Amino acid sequence: MATRQGRLAFVTFGMFIIDEIEYLNGRAAEQKIIGGAGTYAALGARLAAGAAFAPYVSWIVDMGSDFPPEFKTLIQTWRTSCTFRLDMNRLTTTAWNGYGLNEYRAFKYLTPKLRLDEDSLSDEQALARSFHMVCSPLRCISLVEGVVARRRRLAPDEPRPVFVWEPVPELCTPEEFEKLRGAAKIVDIVSPNADEFASFFAADSGCTSRQAMVDKFLGLRDTGSLDAALVIREGAHGCTVYQGQKSLQLHAFHRSSERVIDPTGGGNTFLGALAIAMTGTASPAESALTPVNSSSARLVDQGLLFAVLHATVAASYAIEQTGIPLLAGTSADDAWNGEPYQKRFMSFLEREEAYITGQLSGTDKSNS
């Protein structure tokens, strides 16, 4: 078992899924596409980690009798600590995705899914420094408690890991709000998209603004305030981070829809990168934020800003094509889709610096 310094930095409980994608606008359908929340979360972590930290990214790929061998070959080029599990008595989890106008999306499983839990992990994975989950509130609580219990048995003095939770869209309802807050009490980051977050307040006449919703969720009007950060993903509009009384909005990396080919997996990629960056295992390192240090402390914690910047940049690669981006080269700064990740990160940081500092005074100094 690795020393504390050598622990894995990231593990996801998301699944590997073979996607079939149908576009309801007449665009040709896509078959046998590498997908799944776990795959895209691992992609995000791998993008942010860079070549040097690639082995610190860990995930599980369950292969059925129909698993294409070229998929395994491709995944291995990422050089992550991926666990491949073959079961010839089942089919690989496969799902249908339907896309239409106004960001409409439909989803259904075509074969039985095989969910992961704390007992699916090796000891090394159970001691990872961050975990990503996409699930219901009750399952979130079960996973966190299960991981914490296993870690207590394996290494009682091990520090608590970072838990990043993505609520499943179908349970973003007013009836689930109290369960949402219950799960949020034991994780570090909660991240729905904007529509999902608003859906929790559909029956609440007192929450007609985003700020009112955030205040109620975080408990800022009472003594039961949450310690978790709320990161609302806003698609083409970027994301907004709420941490106690502090908040920060970031633009999306792509400012033109022409670069966005397929949004599948963008949110999962965002959160995988965010999770591993919260552990500091990302490149460029946090020292790259020097130009905005003094400003970020007054908006959100610098570590969270660092993570959200990585998340935004990583997500930009996921949506530039159908399926996963192409990795080329084995240099210290991998090129994905032909552009080095570190170069894209630094260009985004330079572009957003004025916007970040402008939020301190309520003025936007960027070309928004």
DSSP string, 37-67: HHHHHHHHHHHHHHHHHGGGEEEEEEE-TT-
- What is the four-CA torsion angle of 257, 260, 264, 267, rounded to 10 degrees? -70
As a whole number of angstroms, the distance between CA 171 and CA 317 comes to 28
As a whole number of angstroms, the distance between CA 238 and CA 217 comes to 21
- Structural contact between residues 51 and 27, judged by C-beta atoms closer than 8 angstroms: no
Q: What amino acid is encoded at 218 in this protein?
A: L
pLDDT exceeds 80 at position 296: no
- Structural contact between residues 55 and 81, judged by C-beta atoms closer than 8 angstroms: yes
As a whole number of angstroms, the distance between CA 106 and CA 304 comes to 31
Tokens in use for 325?
Answer: 């981006």
pLDDT recorded at residue 365: 52
As a whole number of angstroms, the distance between CA 64 and CA 123 comes to 24
Give the C-alpha distances (Å, rounded to integers) separating 97 from 21, 27, 263, 292.
5, 13, 11, 40
Please indicate whether residue 6 or residue 193 has the higher confidence score (pLDDT).
Answer: 193
Name the burial class of residue 155, with classes exposed (0-12), middle (13-18) and buried (19+) by CB atoms within 10 angstroms of its CB. Answer: middle
pLDDT exceeds 50 at position 329: yes
Q: How far is CA 23 from the centre of its chain?
A: 24
Q: Mean pLDDT, to the nearest integer, of 3-30?
A: 89
256-279 pLDDT, tens digit per residue, is 888 998 888 999 999 999 999 999
Residue the block writes with tokens 């491709």: 74
Cα-Cα-Cα-Cα dihedral sign, residues 269, 271, 274, 275: negative
174-199 pLDDT, tens digit per residue, is 999 999 999 999 999 999 999 999 99
Please indicate whether residue 196 or residue 103 has the higher confidence score (pLDDT).
Answer: 196
Confidence of residue 26 (pLDDT cuts 50, 70, 90): confident
Confidence of residue 368 (pLDDT cuts 50, 70, 90): very low
Lowest-confidence pick of 33-42, 85-94, 284-293 = 284-293
- Domains contained in the chain, CATH given: 8-361 (3.40.1190.20)
Confidence of residue 1 (pLDDT cuts 50, 70, 90): low
Give the C-alpha distances (Å, rounded to integers) separating 86 from 72, 79, 90, 124.
11, 19, 9, 20
Tokens in use for 357?
Answer: 């500092």
Confidence of residue 155 (pLDDT cuts 50, 70, 90): very high
Tokens in use for 306?
Answer: 């660092």
pLDDT exceeds 50 at position 236: yes
Q: Where are the alpha helices (DSSP H) in the chain?
A: 37-53, 69-76, 123-126, 137-154, 177-184, 194-199, 210-218, 266-278, 293-296, 302-318, 341-361
Half-sphere exposure at residue 308, Cβ-oriented, CA atoms within 13 angstroms? 31
